Copies of this chain bind each other. A is one copy, B any other.
Amino acid sequence: MGLLRMVAESEATGKVREVYEDIMAVKGIGFVPNFWKALAVFPEHLEATWQKLKTVMRPGRLDLRTKEIIALAVSITNNCEYCIHSHTAALKRLGLDNAAIGEIVAVVDVFNGTNRIANAYRIEPDVTPDPE
């Protein structure tokens, strides 16, 4: 469609090429996903998005697997087809099987429902001590 004009790996120069190479190195994959090739229409956006994503996905208090699970949960909630595919593929590369994906889907199902119950009834937060 008119929105999309991806920059192929063979066309990439300068900043775009640098980002492409870093993406393949950090992710340990031999191709640049379509998502990043589409972003290259605005190279500064490509670079800032990749820098931020790389920073945020780096293991810290949470490991990469947990962070990819969050990414899938968000993508299902928002109904982003490309994102559901790519985060499922990433989780399978990290060792999750279909049964584990099924558990993620089940949790996303339950809390999208309960979110609406809490919205509907405008329930006040419970007063609980903050352990921190």
Interface residues of A (CB under 8 A from B): 1-5, 31, 33-35, 38-39, 41-42, 44-45, 47-49, 51-53, 55-57, 60-62, 66-67, 69-71, 73-86, 88-89, 92-93, 96-126, 128, 130-132
A23→B81 CA distance, assembly (Å): 28
* Nearest CB in chain B: distance from A63 CB, A: 10
| Residue among B52, B71, B112, B121 making CB contact with A38, cutoff 8 Å | B121
**A77, B78: Cβ atoms under 8 Å?**
yes
* Given A80-B119, A104-B62, A113-B112, A85-B1 contact (CB < 8 Å): yes
Q: Is the interface of A mostly helix, strand, loop or mixed?
A: helix
Looking across the interface, which residue of chain B has its beta carbon closest to that of A87? Answer: B111
